[in-house]
Amino acid sequence: MENYTINTVEKLNEKEKVFLKDALKLTSCEISINRVPKGFKSPFNHKHKQNEEIYIILKGSGIITVDNKKINIKEKSTVKIVPKASRMIENTGNSELTFICIQAKENSLIQSGLKDAELC
């Protein structure tokens, strides 16, 4: 058994959203890569029981609404939303909106960066 999992996200050309949890056998978070057309608006608000969400905007612009507050987003924007906050995303730009969304259990990160590294 290998100590890594690799996956190529080719289906993003066919779908608006690709989840990586199963494809990479993730055990600590869910990651989705999303591509939505101009004019797209989430069909519903949602919130989470345990997971915070981190949005990383790769291309395009739009609005993320958090607890009824509209936040402008654009390429290179990053937004963290706590579990209990309602949220939705919409593409208000002139082109496709492409972003990564990461879900991870709030307050579960114990160490990161060099604190979690070990020289080999």
CA atoms of 34 and 14, how far apart (whole Å): 11
Judge if pTM exceeds 0.85.
yes
Strand partners, 87: 46, 66
Q: Is the pLDDT of residue 11 over 70?
A: no
Alpha-helical regions (H) of the chain: 21-24
The CA–CA distances, whole Å, from 99 to 55, 90, 92 equal 7, 11, 14
Q: Is the pLDDT of residue 105 over 60?
A: yes
Structure tokens at 51: 């997971």
Strand partners, 70: 65
pLDDT of residue 46: 94
- The whole-chain average pLDDT of the chain stands at 89
Structure tokens at 8: 């190529």
One-letter amino acid of 98: T
**pLDDT tens string 37-75:** 999 999 899 999 999 999 999 999 999 999 999 999 999
